[in-house]
Amino acid sequence: MKNLKIYFLLFVAVTAFISCENNDKAVANNVILEFDNTFKDKTIILGDATSSSATVNVSASGQAHHFSELKYVISNIRLIKTDGTEVPYNINDLDKGAAVIDQSRPASLQYVMHNIPAGKYKQVKFGLGVKKELNTLDQMRFPIFYAIAGANDTKMMWEWGTGYRFTKLEGYYDADHKEMSVHTGSTVQGDEGDYIQGVDAYRDIVLNLTVNAVVGDKAPKISIKADFDKLLSGKINTIVLKSGQGAEDNATPNVHTAVQMIKFVDNLGGNGSSDLTGMFSVKGTEN
C-alpha cells in the first residue's frame, strides 16, 4: 500500500515536472517548413524605390507595387497526423516555437522543427502573428524571441501596444513610387468590465498537405507559398492604396492605425472563420 502511494506521488511529481517542460521529449526527428514569398507565382525580389530588379506586382485595381522589406511572424505551429492527432510544437514558448520570416535573410525562410514524433501527417496549422496570451513583450519569459523581434534591423515590436508586429511590409506603389508601409499587430489589452478593448490581428492558418509528410528517419520538408498579391487583391478585400492623412488613407499613415489595418490582416491571414488560409497555400511536401 505504502509502495503504491510512493509510486503515485512520484508519478504526480514527474507529471508536474513534464507539464512545466515542453512536450518535446519524443523521437528526435525534424520537419522543415519552407516559406516562398511570392507575387502570384514569382518569388519576390526586394528593392528600393527605383530598383530595376525588384519584383513588381499589379493589384486587381491596377496599382503597381513592390517591396523593400517583407517580414512576418509565425508561431503556434501544430502538425496533424492522418488519424487526426494534433502535435503541438512549443506552442507556448516563443523562444522555441516562433520565428520571424524575413525575405532579406534566406536562412529565415526555412524553419526547422525538432523532435517531431514519427508518423504520417496530413495537415499543418500555424499562427500568422502571436496569440494574445503570449503577445506581451515579456523579455524575462522569452528573451531569445524578444531579441530577434526587437533587433534594430528587424523592428518587429509595437512598443506602445507592448506587443509584437505580426507583419511588416515596406515598399512603393504607383508610377511615382509613393511610399507604402503596412504594419499589422494586435491592440488587445484586456477587459474593461464586459468590454474587450482592441483588435486581435492574430490569424490561425490551416493548410492541408497535398502529400502526407512522413516523419521518421528523414526530415520532410513542407513548402508553403505566401502569395503577397493577396495583400491588395485578397479573397476578402480589394484594397486601393491611398496616401494622405485622413481616416480613409491607408498607404502610409497606416503604420499604427487599426482602422485600415484589419483589412490587410484579413487578406493576409484570412478572417478566422470562412477563410483559414489567407495568402498561404501548400506547394508540396518532400519526404
Partner 1 sequence: MLLFKMMKRAAVLSWVFLLIACEKDYEPVLSDNALVKLDIPSYFPSWNGYAHENKPTEYGVELGKRLFNDRRFSADNSIACSSCHIQNYAFADDNVRAVGIKGREGFRNVPPIQNLLFMKFYNWDGNVLQLEKQPLVPIITHEEMDSSVLEIISRIKDDEVYKRLFTKVFGDAAVTADRIYRSIAQYEYTLISAGSKYDRVKKKEAVFTQDEERGYEVFQIKCISCHNTALFTDQSFRNIGFPVNPDRNEAGRARVTGLQEDYMSFRVPSLRNVEYTAPYGSFGQFATLKDVLDYFDAGVLDAANLDPVFKNNGNRIPLTEQEKNDLISFMKTLSDNKFTGN
Q: Segment contacting partner 1 (CB under 8 A): 46-54, 56-64, 73-81, 192-200?
A: 192-200
Is the Cβ of residue 47 or residue 198 nearer to partner 1 in the bound state?
A: 198
Among 138, 208, 211, 218, binds partner 1 (CB under 8 A): 138
Nearest to 281 by CA among 216, 218, 228: 228
* 152 to 181: interface string for partner 1, x by CB under 8 A: -----x-xxxx-------------------
List of residues 6+ apart from 219 with CB closer than 8 A: 29, 30, 31, 32, 112
Distance, CA of 245 to CA of 265 (rounded, Å): 21
Say how many Å lie between the first and final Cα of the chain, rounded: 51
User: Closest Cα partner for 49 from 69, 29, 30?
Assistant: 69
Q: CA–CA separation, 275 vs 158, rounded Å?
A: 26
CA distance 192 to 96: 32
Binding-site string for partner 1 from residue 226 to residue 265, where x marks contact by CB under 8 A and - marks none = -------------------x-x----xx-xxxxx-xx---
- Shortest Cβ distance from residue 232 to partner 1 (Å)? 19
Those residues with Cβ within 8 angstroms of residue 93's Cβ, 6 or more apart along the chain or in another chain: 22, 142
Helices (H), 84-151: 94-97, 143-150
Choices 93-101, 114-122, 124-132, 139-147; region in contact with partner 1 by CB under 8 A: 139-147
Give me the 19-48 binding string for partner 1, x by CB under 8 A, dash otherwise. Answer: xx----------------------------
Dist. CA 95–CA 98, nearest whole Å: 6
- 107 binds partner 1, rule: CB under 8 A: no
Exposed, middle or buried by CB within 10 Å (0-12, 13-18, 19+), for 116? buried
- Least Å distance between CB 193 and partner 1? 8
Whole-number minimum distance, CB 196 to partner 1, in Å?
Answer: 10
133, 192, 194, 217: which one contacts partner 1 (CB under 8 A)? 192
Determine, following the binding rule CB under 8 A, whether residue 189 of this chain makes contact with partner 1. Answer: yes
Which of the stretches 32-40, 113-121, 194-202, 217-225 binds partner 1 when contact is defined by CB under 8 A?
Answer: 194-202
Q: List contacts with partner 1 (CB under 8 A).
A: 2-3, 5-6, 9-10, 12-13, 16-17, 19-20, 137-140, 143, 146, 150, 157, 159-162, 187, 189-192, 197-199, 245, 247, 252-253, 255-259, 261-262
